[in-house]
A and B are shown apart, each in its own frame.
Chain A
Amino acid sequence: MGDRTGAGSWEPDLRNTGPSAGKTAANASHPESPTDSSDPEATEIVERARFDRSLGLALWFLKAGPVLILAILILIIAVISPVFLTTRNIGNVLAQTAVIAVLALFQLLVIVTRGIDLSVGSTLALATVVGALVYQSNGSGAGTIMIMLVTGLVVGLVNGFLYVKGRIPHPFIVTLATLTLVRGVALWLSDGRPIQGAPEVVLTLGGKSMLGWIPVSTIVVVGTALLVWLLTTRMVWGRWIYAVGGNPEAARRTAIPTSSVLISVYVLSGLAAGVAGVLTMGRTNAGAPTFGALAELDAIAAVIIGGASFLGGRGTIGNALVGALMIGVIRNAMNLANLASFFQLIVLGVVIILAVESDVLRGWLEQRVRLMQATRS
């Protein structure tokens, strides 16, 4: 005790004094003073600084990774295929990405709380079936949209309540159950057949374009993204979502309403499935119990390859949107290259593995950063 081998930025007074109120005086932050270059300690500092810098660079790269990969992907495809960057094709990509993007934006919230929502694809299908049936019976556009959103909301509520109040150990189980259950209900209500017809509003939202090529569904995505951005970065509830994902036990102790927060993310995810249902119905002019098959996996994949952490607590709307766009671009490129669809599946699988592996790598690098902070002299 008492040997002053240099202090970190906040370890101040090394005097070995007895207990007295007077010893609170301290010199807090003394900058690391450069030492002689011949000093072995100095070379160590230099080496450590170099290591520090490469760590920081690696972490930055992991953070920017998805955006960089997307940019490189777009660049390569644009060089190979002259069609890729035409407004018509861009409109295509955007329209195909819209459903995944809406689902991913809210799957993100679920994943931030360390959860997962597998039921969104089925919920999307049920929403289109219910919407088509309602449209057939009364022809109201607003009524159709309303009932579709309510359908999503109800499934979300069921998920949330079963998970939180039913004390089912993991949302995977709950939403796996509703995945089957809801798909079953959709098949039952529709007799397993598509139902033709959709109101004008829905057709516009899901199928029309503006200025000749910008899909209206993209505007829906942008609007939704803005709302989620407001929620996650500006509103108290959003902060609580991250708090619950970061440390559920601490959230409980700090009087954050953990149960309500958890239920809310499943409700929002269900609602998003309703919105995605509206877009799908508009694009196809029908409701069908087979819509949205595996859409939940696209949404989850988008969140993960976009760079959010599957372990919870971390991820932004940027991650969800970039991930969704990456899936859309990969699919589009494969179509343009006339590659069979099973290649899309293989490529997507590889991308997911890379994304999760880079999340693991990030965790390891951050561990190093923590150690550096502790040993820095």
Chain B
Amino acid sequence: MAFVEKKLPADAPIAAKALNWVDSRFPLTKLWNDQWGQYYAPKNFNFWYIFGSLAMLVLVLQIVTGIFLVMHYKPDANLAFASVETTIMRDVPWGWLVRYMHSTGASAFFIIIYLHMTRGLLYGSYRKPRELIWLFGVAIFLCLMGEAFFGYLLPWGQMSYWGAQVIVNLFGAIPFIGPDLSLWIRGDYVVSDATLNRFFSFHVIAIPLVLLGLVAAHLIALHEIGSSNPDGVEVKETLGPDGHPLDSIPSHPYYSVHDIFGVSVFLLVFSAVIFFAPEMGGYFLEANNFIPADSLKTPPHIAPVWYFTPYYSILRATTSQFVYALEVGVAAYAALIFFKTKLPSLLKMVAVGAAVVIIIAFNVFEAKFFGVVLMGVSVMILAGLPWLDQSPVKSIRYRPSWHKYVYIVFGIAFVTLGYLGIQPPNDLRTEIAQVCTFIYFGFFLLMPWWSAMGTFKPVPTRVTFHAH
């Protein structure tokens, strides 16, 4: 087919002509309309739906501030600390502001992502047909954790150093390959210059590349399927005369102005932290990290940054005593699958076989290894949500009232784990963490049963919307 360019009248504005020239060669207008301009979104979004665009904003902030930090940062064990505290914080004009934006941005990113995920949980956003959107999201979350972990080493303070040391040592608990694996990750017998250089590389190029790709996939999938909403109603099932869903509105201008409002509120809070509490009482910037890394001086209390502590708590809760409780849990779960599901008997046998193997493994390998496994599983289990949730309705609004308490108990267990992960361990705290670990995993693993129980309310065909 011959190339045909759309003809515009000779007196058309120059901008229209330029756009036409581009559109004939690249789908610029089409991309804009598909992704935002003519993207029809349900009109009943509430407060919870702001965090997607805020996450996008913080991602851009982190990339831009990161670019400027890299101009002055030195990934060298002898120079790194001074390049932050002398060069960036004092010598570079406004370097302190860029650094605080980046360090506060890291914590803000996690706050936003946790709220974004809570939204998904409350309104069943991950349910069919949005499973892939959710899976891309989980992958983004994993990248974000990696990004935060690698980035935290770069200031080369005591917490940077010993946090990395502790986490990399965890890989040493993996049977057979563990010690070699952690040596390979560090590139040295302890965290050192070699480790700093590779973490820098991962932090500034490898993970951001993957992250951007995944964010693009997350958004393309979302804009193809269409957003869910607080009612869990599929708006595409009720189309208007113009072929667009009756309950939807074009994102531009409605959600554009909505998001601009959300962004300005966010920036107000974000700036309050940057200008008045950049350390946030030691949660965003830890006091110990103002001491240069010293491989000979282990701090008395090493805790990861707050956003990792729930998983870290699960790791620490897995003592050799707790393994017995886990064995009982695995056996009970296998029995539940065997007696209480309608799976084919072959699958049931596989489940029981797997449980036996796991229980044997519990007795063969050390508890620390299972702590590492549980920590990994506690994050990865999120990926299973679209299939674990068997509720006939998507949104919490039409679920039985007692489901709300299940979510509240889960939320409290998660926050408690986070709190305990910051504190130095003692017997009582470990016991509380163990109870919370059971609640955490019980919430997900028993979901196929509890999410289908109770009396569900009728879901309306149209969304509930009150005009502003």
Tell whether A pairs with B: no
